Amino acid sequence: MTPILAGHDLHKSYGLTPALRGAAVEVAAGEILAVMGPSGSGKSTLLHCLAGVLAPDRGQVYFAGARLDRLPDRRRVELRRTAFGLVYQFGQLVPELPVVENVALPLLLAGRPWGAAVTEARGWLARLGLAGLDERRPAELSGGQAQRVALARALVARPKIVFADEPTGALDSAGADDVMEILVAAARDLGTAVLIVTHESRVAGFADRVVLLRDGDVR
């Protein structure tokens, strides 16, 4: 299958410490790929290079056939509002905003009218079992609820790919399974690709394919 996202010969160092040493990975449209590896193996750095958050020191990143790593910052930020969804271990919700506005945020930043953005956000909250929590603040949610809000925010713009960085790392086993089942089901419905980085085999078991990252290179 033609990859929607590909990284080739990726190198990235922090000072004198190498994080990626020639890593290469491809994700097909609609595929759920897990990148496994121990702490310090370069998983998060790889995800951030593929998502355009970081620029690799060497190598190439392609999204939909075009060089992502050569795009200006403004264009890469725009892609992260429209074509990419990001989910982090601790959700990273905006504490001052109610749940519904947290979910609507990518649409609002992309210029969607407030009413339309909030209506779409409420639809996703209902879909993810969070109806009735629209006006709560993140501090009023359980860990599992907060991570489902983060999933709704990542999916609300119907992205081409979701990047999930240890999305269940702060949850117990039952909560982790719940979040992964919701993410996989929603991605299948949308035809969205998902790239998950994790050190947990239980989480990787939800993926279509698993690759191993060790010492900054994919094995």
Summarize pLDDT for 69-102 with one digit per residue, the tens.
999 999 999 998 899 999 987 668 999 999 999 9
Instruction: Quick: pLDDT tens for 111-147.
Output: 999 999 999 999 999 988 899 999 999 999 988 899 8
Question: Class assignment of domain 3-218?
Answer: alpha beta
Query: Parallel, antiparallel, or unpaired for β 209-214 and 217-218?
Result: antiparallel
Model confidence, pTM? 0.93
Across 181-186, average pLDDT: 90
Note whether 198 and 179 are within 8 A (CB): no
Domain spans of the chain, in order of start: 3-218
pLDDT on residue 28? 95
Across 165-180, average pLDDT: 85
pLDDT of 20 over the 90 cut: yes
Across 196-206, average pLDDT: 92
Who contacts 170 (Cβ-Cβ below 8 Å, separation ≥6)?
89, 90, 143, 147
pLDDT band for position 1 (cuts 50, 70, 90): low
pLDDT on residue 188? 92
Give me the percent of the chain exceeding a pLDDT of 70: 99
Helix axes 173-190, 143-155, angle to 10 degrees: 10
Place of tokens 């020191």: 57
Structure tokens at 218: 């994919």
